[in-house]
Chains A and B, each alone.
Chain A
Amino acid sequence: MITRRHFIAMLGSCFALLVPGFVGAKTTTPGGAQRALTGGAKATRDRVTLTMPGIAENGLSVFTTVEVASPMSAQDYVKTIHLLAEKNPREQVASFHLGPRAGRAKVATNIRLAASQQVTALVEMNDGSFWFDTRDVVVTIAACVDGG
């Protein structure tokens, strides 16, 4: 039999992941991670396609794809793809390191989103230039937040 105290604790632990301001609140300003990664250099919104659902059914796992228009040749290739979530306790979610051997600059993963927010895919090319795309994702909570 689940005790009331146990249930409330489980509910709290579930929300801790989904509600900002709870355990693990953000301490950096949104966009801070992007500035740190580019060193202040300008990033152009082009060549990058960030694909995410407009409404994420569960913030615990949101399917994310990034594709970059690039020949991926030895002279012109994607070096790194960063995924940034401005309202997560840790803005820099994942960084993918590619190179000419990738053949195609396309990666996919599932990320966690702490709240409805804008996600950014920031791309660094081998020539040091930066490119990006953003997506606004609404995070809903499943109906039976049951802790069961």
Chain B
Amino acid sequence: MNWRALCFALIATLPSAATSTEILPSGTTFLSQGLQAQAADAGANPGMLWVADGERLWNTAESAASSSCASCHGDAEVSMRGVATRYPLVIPGSNQLLNLEGRINTCRVQRQNALAYAHESDELLSLSAFVARQSLHMPLKVTVNDANAEFFAAGEAAFHQRRGQLNLSCANCHVERVGLRLRGDVITHALPNAFPIYRLEWQGLGSLHRRLRACALGVRAEMFDYGSEAYLNLELYLTVRANGVAVETPGIRK
């Protein structure tokens, strides 16, 4: 099956450029009532500790020579509202696909006179959680267009590519076997709408790329780097696939 051709054909016919008209249910709906309640309670959701730290970082200039996010963007509740629903995206005029973490680091280096945060560092997790939180309950809305079509196709192909010693593709579980059990878990649609997530397994907050690496390890495949092209392309595909699903950052997962 020529996925690329099908993909482009679908893009050509649909005005919204989502690959499906159906809005998939969030992974949160697969959790127990207790965990769902915990996630929805801002006083009990441990991910909010990182969101709180993100707010502090937003308002802090790292040094006398650098500037804070707030110095340009003011109140995040206003300026960042809806932003997370549009990422990952290609910066106009460039050929670079950026997710929210990448955008934060680009800002730091190019506009704040500060060093980029390390991948999966507490600072980057906190800031990205804080920014994404400003889009809480808003539906994801990433459009496939000329600028990102190539990245989208690569991500889509990766999603359907079998890999690892267990020779499984993302689709084998997250499309073909949704709702079935994998030991103690029920397989979800693998949507990125709640990231960064507080994963009980990690006992802390982690990014989508960390989860993708864990999935790769799960099928005994090679784990790619945080921020790698492979994962950015896949993140773009996963997000488009989740168009219409509400942002829930920070989600709680097992």
A and B touch in the complex (CB under 8 A): yes
**Residues of A with Cβ closer than 8 Å to B?**
1-2, 7, 14, 53, 55, 57-58, 60-61, 63, 108, 140-148
Known: A1-B222, A57-B184, A58-B254. A148 touches B217 (CB 8 A): yes
B32/A57 in contact, CB under 8 A:
yes
> In the bound complex, what is the Cα–Cα distance between A53 and B215 (angstroms)?
27
Contacts of A108 in B (CB 8 A): 44
**Residues of B with Cβ closer than 8 Å to A?**
31-32, 34-35, 38, 44, 181-185, 200-201, 203, 210, 213-215, 217-218, 222-223, 254
B201/A58 in contact, CB under 8 A:
yes
Which of the residues A14, A53, A57, A146 comes within 8 Å of B218, measured between beta carbons? A146
Contacts of B214 in A (CB 8 A): 144, 146, 148
Contacts of B35 in A (CB 8 A): 57, 63
Q: How far is the CB of A118 from chain B (nearest CB, A)?
A: 19
> In the bound complex, what is the Cα–Cα distance between A60 and B223 (angstroms)?
25
Which of the residues B32, B201, B215 comes within 8 Å of A142, measured between beta carbons? B201
> In the bound complex, what is the Cα–Cα distance between A96 and B191 (angstroms)?
39
> In the bound complex, what is the Cα–Cα distance between A50 and B81 (angstroms)?
41
B213/A61 in contact, CB under 8 A:
no
Contacts of A57 in B (CB 8 A): 31-32, 35, 184, 200, 254
Contacts of A146 in B (CB 8 A): 201, 214-215, 217-218
> In the bound complex, what is the Cα–Cα distance between A145 and B218 (angstroms)?
8
Contacts of B38 in A (CB 8 A): 63
Q: How far is the CB of B191 from chain A (nearest CB, A)?
A: 16
Q: How far is the CB of A147 from chain B (nearest CB, A)?
A: 7
Q: List 28 A-B contacts (CB under 8 A).
A: A1-B223, A2-B217, A2-B223, A53-B34, A57-B35, A57-B184, A57-B200, A58-B200, A58-B201, A60-B200, A60-B201, A61-B200, A61-B203, A63-B35, A108-B44, A141-B184, A142-B183, A142-B254, A143-B181, A143-B184, A143-B185, A144-B201, A144-B215, A145-B201, A146-B214, A146-B218, A148-B210, A148-B217
